Structure 1
Amino acid sequence: MTQVANIAHQSESIVDAAKSLTKVFAERASGNDENDRFVADNYADLKTSGLISAGVPSDLGGGGASIRELCDVLKIIAGACGSTGLALSMHTHQVAVPAWRWYNQEAARDLVAPLLRRVAEDKIVLLSSGGSDWIGGSGVAEKVEGGYRITARKMFSSGAPAGDLLMTGAISEEDGARIVLHFGVPMAAPEVTVLDTWRTLGMRGTGSHDIKIDGLFIPDDKIPVRRKAGEWHPAFHLIATIAFPLIYSAYLGVAQSARDIAIDIAKKRPVSHRTQSIAGRMDTALTAAHLARNYMIDVAERNAPSAQTINDTMIGRRLVEEHTIKVVELAMELAGGLGFYRKTDLERRFRDIQAARYHPLQKDVQSEYVGAMALGHSVDHIF
């Protein structure tokens, strides 16, 4: 009972910390967006507040927050600044995966503990290249004495300007098979360069630049996972089941804040059946998005990653995408012409929410995966 109470107290502090940052994050958001500027000041505040290490188990010096609590934090942060929320979600899921292993896999504890302690003690920022690599993998791993020489270009690495360690992979040709090797890349290595490529419709402050890796040596003993390219693997069952409720909590925060802005605008106008109808459809869509996000969290809390949890998670991810986009579209309609002005901060949310479309599994692939599961067919190569 004491341990549960301690965790509850810690998570309450984490949520409070997130709420305390929203005003200053919201004040910075427009300037960062208009100048394609990475949210560097916000990252400094995330470190000071303890949110960078919130997902690290408390026994290892972190906040001990659960997936559900981390989702709440990301929703709050993204409501103030979508770019900060989305970028933080990429770091957070890279912390949450080894934390899950520490809690649930006794044999993995010694393997993941050093990384988690670094996040807690040194406040290092983890990056992900999962959006550009995914199941197929990318990059070249050339076998050399004692390890591999890595050459790659990784896209969509959110938080790149602040990153310390890129969690990524590359493909090795071994005995006629394409094998994806997974490893961490130190961002300070001279063979690693952040390319200034992030010029986008929305989420402009995430710093999701390309990262170039040119001949970096990775020792054999620093490659914890090897898998066949183009096939689902238990490691990806775990990663995807945990990552997507966190990532899509950021989009839920964007949609919630767009709704709140539109409601404030509409309340200042005369009562009309039309505005009531739009507001009602908007809140119905927002409730659907909340339910779908919570369903994804429920799936993660089964603590049993598998092909079935991917199926369930991706159904939830698709529903959050569709309903959050609908919420923001209706918010623009409810706000009317004022929503077109930058000063309302609604058009930025309209642009930011469009990014919800582009994470895997996108709708055609997700539909194929769900259909194959329903029909009892193999999903090993559907990604």
Structure 2
Amino acid sequence: MNSVFQTATAEPPVHARFVRAIDAAHALAPDFAQRAARHDEDDSFVAENYLALKEAGLVEAGVPRELGGGGAEIAELCEMLRVIARACGSTGLAFSMHTHQVAIPAWRWRHQKVAAVEGLLRRVAAERIILLSSGGSDWIGGSGKAEKVDGGYRVTARKVFTSGAEAGDLLMTGAICDVDGTATVLHFGVPMKADAVGIVQTWRTLGMRGTGSNDVVIDGLFVPDASVAFSRKAGEWHPVFQVIATTAFPLIYAAYLGISESARDIAIDMARKKGPNAHQIELAGRMETNLRAAQIAHKRMIEVVEWNKPSAESVNEVMIGRALVAQHAIATVELAMELAGGSGFYRANGLERRFRDIQGARFHPLQPGPQARYAGSMALGLPVTNVF
């Protein structure tokens, strides 16, 4: 298969690599948009789109070039996801989960010189394996049970909200083990084709219906000691989770930003065709203002990643950005619906699907209560170790 990231002997400039990734996303977008309504209507996973993403070389986009990938950094990957999500929100969000699971070890390889992640990154580049995230199940508290046995652990767990489960090769997850009376989260990869791993079709939802975010059930899987990447105390922030939170959320929320931008474009086109009155002009202005606020907040999230200093401070800044992107992206789509008027209620116009899809922005960590407590604690100089 040809990859858009195949290169000549000479190292091309960063901008050239960026254009290739974005050009590939733009080339795929029309087909994604054409299929989006069908996947939404029949609750089917966007499987064809994943095959197209593999063909285009976007699965390995975030792998460092030295390891065989596209070498794309966070800003480039965010723009790629925005383009995809404008066409199909489900594909953008589901693929953001793979993308951030590649971007995190890539960042650790580049900036922390963590050699242990190299094998995984080379596999993504060479085999185009799809990584799954169980972040919806496995936030700071962790979930599932790991029982110590000879040579490793026996794991039993149910991981909900596993976007793209049907296409996945390796689930990046964890489980809780009692270590000398302390609840400890062990982190490891789970082969999706293992006999002890199954998918339960639970994903019938308000929006994001094509993400295939079904439950993954792990029933007595043996995980060797050598397969445990790291461990941490359950219910407390760990330095690796500062890397995860700082890196992942600009990518995830790039998808929601793309959805709000496409809703704006649909509403503007509909208003122009009808001939806007004074009220509609005001609605359009409020919509533009909210969209710009979401864009500015997202840009700030990317800037924080580019500090290359994951910490409690970077988590705070990214989570403030996440809250602002969610708030203003949702408001943008609500105003788009109002601007479109009754026509926006028809499925054929695509606006009501985006209205349903954007609601997903509410549910990722840190949700409003924990995010406010985290930001407030940081402002007041209080500890945030257990705020999540």
Q: TM-score, normalised by structure 1?
A: 0.98
Q: Name the residue aligned to 2:6.
A: none
| Mapped pair 1:33 → 2:33 | no
**Partners of 1:64 and 1:316 in 2: CA distance:** 25
Q: Does 1:75 align with 2:82?
A: yes
1-structure distance, mates of 2:159, 2:117:
24
CA–CA distance in structure 2, aligned partners of residues 315 and 27 of structure 1: 34
Instruction: Please name the residue that 2:186 is paired with.
Output: 181
Aligned to 1:327: 332
Per the alignment, in what secondary structure is the counterpart of residue 249 of structure 1?
helix
| Aligned mate of 1:43, from 42, 45, 50 | 50
User: Aligned with 2:161: secondary structure?
Assistant: coil
Following TM superposition, by how much is the alpha carbon of 1:271 offset from its aligned partner in structure 2, in angstroms? 3.7
Q: RMSD between aligned alpha carbons? A: 1.0
Gaps of 5+ in 1: none
State the alpha-carbon separation in 2 of the partners of residues 64 and 137 from structure 1.
31
Of 147, 154, 158, 1:149 maps to: 154
Give the structure 2 partner of residue 351 of structure 1: 356
- Residue 305 (structure 1) shift: 0.2
Question: Counterpart in 2 of 1:95?
Answer: 102
1:221 match: 226
- Counterpart Cα distance in 1 of 2:268 and 2:324: 23
> Which letter does structure 1 place at the counterpart of 2:196?
E
In 2: Cα distance, 1:37 partner to 1:246 partner: 23
Offset of 1:4 from its aligned partner? 7.6
Quote how far apart the aligned CAs of 1:174 are. Answer: 1.2
Partner of 1:139: 144
The structural deviation recorded for 1:3 is 8.2
Corresponding residue for 1:58?
Answer: 65
Q: Which residue of the other structure, out of 94, 99, 115, is the alignment partner of 2:120? A: 115
Amino acid at match of 1:62: G
Partners of 1:123 and 1:190 in 2: CA distance: 22
Amino acid at match of 2:167: A
| Aligned residue number for residue 253 of structure 1 | 258
Identity of aligned residues (%): 62
Residue 101 of structure 1: CA displacement? 1.0
Cα-to-partner distance string for 1:266-314 (whole Å, 9 max, x where unaligned)? 0012242111100000010000000000100000000000001011000
Instruction: From 309, 314, 323, give the equivalent of 2:319.
Output: 314
Instruction: Indicate how the Cα distance of structure 1 residues 227 and 45 shifts in structure 2: closer, same or farther if over 3 A, else same.
Output: same
Aligned equivalents of 2:154 and 2:100: distance in 1? 27
What pairs up with 1:152-167 in 2 under 5 angstroms? 152-167=157-172
In the alignment, is residue 127 of structure 1 matched against residue 132 of structure 2?
A: yes
Further displaced range: 54-63 or 88-97? 54-63
Q: Provide the rounded CA distance (Å) in 2 between the counterparts of 1:298 and 1:193.
A: 39
Q: Does 1:20 pair with 2:23?
A: no
Amino acid at match of 1:38: F
Amino acid of the residue matched to residue 225 of structure 1?
F
1:6 equivalent among 2, 7, 13: 13
Change (3 A) 1:4 1:272: farther
Q: In the TM superposition, what whole-angstrom CA distance separates every residue of 1:319-364 from its partner, at most 9, and x where no partner exists?
A: 0000000000000000001100000000000000000000000001
3-state DSSP of counterpart to 1:255 = helix
CA distance in 2, matches of 1:223, 1:280: 52
Q: Distance in 1 between matches of 2:214 and 2:281?
A: 42
Counterpart of 1:317 in structure 2: which amino acid?
Answer: R
Q: Secondary structure at the match of 1:52?
A: coil
Q: Which letter does structure 1 place at the counterpart of 2:16?
A: H
Please list the CA deviations of residues 243-262 of structure 1 after superposition, one character each: whole Å capped at 9, or x if unmatched: 00000000000000000000
* 3-state SS, counterpart of residue 153 of structure 2: strand
Helix, strand or coil: the match of 1:132? Answer: coil
Residue 291 of structure 1 aligns with an amino acid whose one-letter code is I
1:183-202 Cα shifts (integer Å, max 9, x gaps): 00000000000110101000
SS of residue matched to 1:379:
coil
Tell me the TM-score normalized by structure 2: 0.97
Give the distance between the partners of 1:173 and 1:8, measured in 2 at CA: 49
Deviation (angstroms), 1:113:
1.2
d(CA) in 2 for partners of 1:279, 1:58: 43
Residue by residue over 1:114-171, the C-alpha shift from the partner in whole angstroms, topping out at 9 and shown as x without a partner, is 1111111111000000121100000000000000000000001100000000000000
Alignment of 1:227-376 (within 5 A): 227-376=232-381
How many angstroms apart in 2 are the aligned matches of 1:233 and 1:113? 21
Q: For 1:242 and 1:321, locate their aligned partners in 2 and report how far apart those are by CA, in whole Å.
A: 17
Runs (5+) with no aligned partner, structure 2: 1-8
